């Protein structure tokens, strides 16, 4: 008799990866760029009490789109490397849909000036040699 082999040792690794990838998903930079605008920041800073969110929804970092349990955890996050990286990424303007279409070659074609070709009224003269 041979040695018994353990079957399906690595079962479910792919599914676990997908589950964590979607659970840890945060807002994209272009979505956050809209949130950082002055008219939207006040809405996020002064949220009503929500028992389902960490810290009752009162300690929210708009740039990172994260809730924190305490004010101290929020202040520590502000001083941290991840927050500073996110601020640096948010300084760049997000691409617009028109820029994305142009990069993919879906923009308006550049066919020159409107009105078609200009026709010459004179006949072309050729020199005899």
Question: pLDDT (tens digit, 0 to 9) for every residue of the chain, 129 residues total?
Answer: 566 666 666 666 677 777 777 666 788 898 999 999 988 898 888 889 999 999 999 999 999 999 999 999 999 999 999 999 999 999 998 888 888 888 888 877 666 667 656 555 667 677 876
Q: Which residues contact 69 (CB under 8 A, 6 or more apart)?
A: 54, 55, 59
What is the three-class DSSP state of 52?
coil
pTM, two decimals, is: 0.61
- Cβ–Cβ < 8 Å for 73, 63: no
């Amino acid at each position: 008799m041979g040695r018994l082999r353990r079957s399906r040792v690595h079962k479910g690794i792919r599914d676990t990866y997908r589950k964590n990838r979607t659970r840890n998903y945060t807002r994209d930079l272009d979505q956050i760029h809209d949130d950082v605008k002055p008219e939207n920041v006040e809405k996020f800073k002064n949220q009503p009490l929500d028992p389902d969110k960490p810290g009752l929804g009162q300690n929210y970092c708009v740039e990172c789109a994260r809730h924190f349990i305490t004010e101290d955890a929020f202040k520590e996050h502000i001083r941290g490397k991840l927050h500073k990286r996110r601020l640096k990424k948010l300084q760049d303007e997000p691409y617009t849909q028109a820029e994305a279409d142009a990069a993919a070659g879906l923009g308006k074609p550049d066919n020159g000036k409107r009105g078609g070709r200009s026709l010459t009224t004179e006949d072309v003269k050729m020199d005899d040699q």
